[in-house]
Structure 1
C-alpha cells in the first residue's frame, strides 16, 4: 500500500478537501482560501499535498492517473463515506473533476479555480499577453532580479506589483523548492502521462451539485475559453471570468475581495443544496 498523502487539517465540521496545482502544495491553497474559510463556521478544511509536492514523497509516481489513485486512497482512508466539499486549482481542478465523478454521491459542492481543461499545451486556446495597466516609469525602477521574479506584469501599479512579488516569494518559490522536479518533470513533459485516462475522467459526465468555476480573462497558462464547455456539464454552476485575472488569481486586495465573495456565495448555495437533500 502506498503511503497516505500528507495533509494539514484546520477547523471542524463539514469536510472540504482542497487540491493544489502542479508543483505547488497545500500551503499555497491555504494562503488564498484560509482568509475566506476561517470566517465561515463549520468547515473542516483539508489541504492535501499531492505526490512529489509539499511534504509528500513522490514514491515512484508515474502519471496523473497514479496521482488520482493515491488521492482516492487518501479520501477512502480519511473521509470514508462522509459527504464533503471539493476544491481544486489548475491541475488540481482537473483531478477534482475526476474525484467528483467517482464520489458523486458524497461530493456536495465543487469549486474549480483556473481549471486546467486541455492538458496538451499546444491545444490550449490562449490569448497573447498584453499589459492592461502600463507604467514604464515604474517598471524602470524595478531591479533585474525582481523583473525576473515577477515575469510579465499585467497591472503595473505599486500595490499590484507588491502583492505579486509577495505571492511569488511566499507561495510559489517555497512550493517550487519543495517539489520533486526529477519525478514530476518527466510526467509534465509527456502529454500521455500528464493527462487523465478516459477510464478516470469522463469528459461528458454531468455533475449536479452547486459548482463554482472561476477563470482569469488574462490567464496565460490555461486561458478561459476551453473551460466554457463545462457549463453544460455542471448545470448548477456559477461561471466567472475575472477581468485582470491571471493564472495566479487572486493577486491583490481587489481580486481577493471579489474571489472571497464568490466563494462565500458558493458555500451558501451548498448549504441550501444540503438542506434540500436533508443531509
Structure 2
C-alpha cells in the first residue's frame, strides 16, 4: 500500500491486528529486512498490528526534490502517522538509522508513543566512540563470485562473514539495496542534512516510556559506549550490550534479539 505524504508517498505493509507497532529499517535497504526477523516473533503472539514502512528514498517509497534531509524524512513519516494512525497510541521499533528516526518520532509525539525498541541505533552525535573493526569469523572464498558493491557492503556490515550470513544478507538486505534511491543517498545530505534540527529529548530530564536498547560490543558503525545518556533519560529501560556482536544484530544475533523484543512486548 502507499500513503500520500508531503514529498510524494510512503510504501507500507500491515500484518496483524491490535496495538500498532511502527517498524523502521536501516539505511540503504527496505522494510523486508525488518519483516524477515520481526514476523517470526509473532508466530504465537496475537494482538499486535505490525506496520512496516519503506523509509523515504528507500524501497517503493517515492520522493521529490523537496526531500533533502533527515528532518524532511521525519516530517514525511509524521504525515504517514497522521494518516494511518491518527491520534492512535503505537510502539516503535527502529534499527540503525531507523532508530534515529524513531527517536525523532518519540521526541515530537511523546503522548502518542507507548514504547520504543532501538537496535544499534544511530545517535545525535557528530563524534562517536567506536571500537576498531574486527572480523570474528571469515569463510575464505565465499565472496569471490560477487561484485565489489556486494563484497564491500557485506564485509563492512558483518563481523561473522560466513555462508549462512551471506545467504541471509542476499535474501533480506540486498533486494532493498537494489531499490534504494542512490541519487539521494549519495548526495550531500549526509554532510548538510543528516542530523535533526535538535537533539531528541534535549528538553526533558526523564521519559517514562518502556524502552529496549540492544547494542553490539563489536559494532564499529554505531558503537555502544555513547548510549549512557539513555539510562538517565529512560528509567524504565532494558539496556543490553551483546559481546561478540557487530552492527547486524538482527541477523548475527537473531534468536537473542527476538527473545529480547518478545520480552519488551509483553
How high is the TM-score relative to the length of structure 2?
0.88
* 2:223 maps to 1:223: yes
Q: Deviations over 1:175-205 (max 9, x none)?
A: 1110111022225431x3000011x734353
Cα distance in structure 2, aligned partners of 1:182 and 1:241: 35
Aligned to 2:185: 184
Aligned to 2:82: 76
Cα distance in structure 1, aligned partners of 2:69 and 2:44: 36
* 2:146 maps to 1:148: no
- The structure with more strand, counted as a fraction of residues: 2
Q: Give 3-state SS (helix, strand or coil) of 2:103's partner.
A: helix
Q: Give 3-state SS (helix, strand or coil) of 2:213's partner.
A: strand
Greater C-alpha radius of gyration: 1
* 2:32 maps to 1:27: yes
Number of residue pairs matched by the alignment: 254
Alpha-carbon shift at residue 248 of structure 1 (Å): 1.1
Cα distance in structure 2, aligned partners of 1:119 and 1:168: 28
Aligned to 2:131: 127
Q: Kindly tell me: are residues 244 and 204 of structure 1, through their superposed partners in 2, closer, same or farther at Cα, counting changes over 3 Å?
A: farther
- The structure with more helix, counted as a fraction of residues: 1
Aligned to 1:117: 123
Aligned to 2:168: 167
Aligned to 1:91: 97
Aligned to 1:276: none
Extract structure 1 runs of 4+ deviating beyond 6 A.
none
Q: Kindly tell me: are residues 143 and 239 of structure 1, through their superposed partners in 2, closer, same or farther at Cα, counting changes over 3 Å?
A: closer
Cα distance in structure 1, aligned partners of 2:176 and 2:79: 23
Cα distance in structure 1, aligned partners of 2:243 and 2:249: 10
Contact 1:118 1:124 in 2 (8 A): no
Cα distance in structure 2, aligned partners of 1:140 and 1:56: 37
Cα distance in structure 2, aligned partners of 1:242 and 1:201: 25
Q: Give 3-state SS (helix, strand or coil) of 2:226's partner.
A: helix
How high is the TM-score relative to the length of structure 1?
0.84
Matches within 5 A, 1:183-262: 183-190=184-191, 192-198=192-198, 201-203=200-202, 205=204, 206-252=206-252, 255-262=253-260
Alpha-carbon shift at residue 100 of structure 1 (Å): 1.0
Contact 1:119 1:194 in 2 (8 A): no
Cα distance in structure 2, aligned partners of 1:145 and 1:187: 32
Contact 2:58 2:181 in 1 (8 A): yes
CA-based RMSD of the aligned residues comes to 2.1
Contact 2:29 2:174 in 1 (8 A): no
Contact 2:90 2:113 in 1 (8 A): yes
Cα distance in structure 1, aligned partners of 2:203 and 2:163: 42
Contact 1:51 1:59 in 2 (8 A): no
Where do 5+ consecutive residues of structure 2 fail to align? Answer: none
Q: Kindly tell me: are residues 265 and 189 of structure 1, through their superposed partners in 2, closer, same or farther at Cα, counting changes over 3 Å?
A: same
Q: Deviations over 1:42-70 (max 9, x none)?
A: 11000011111010012221101101100
Alpha-carbon shift at residue 39 of structure 1 (Å): 2.9
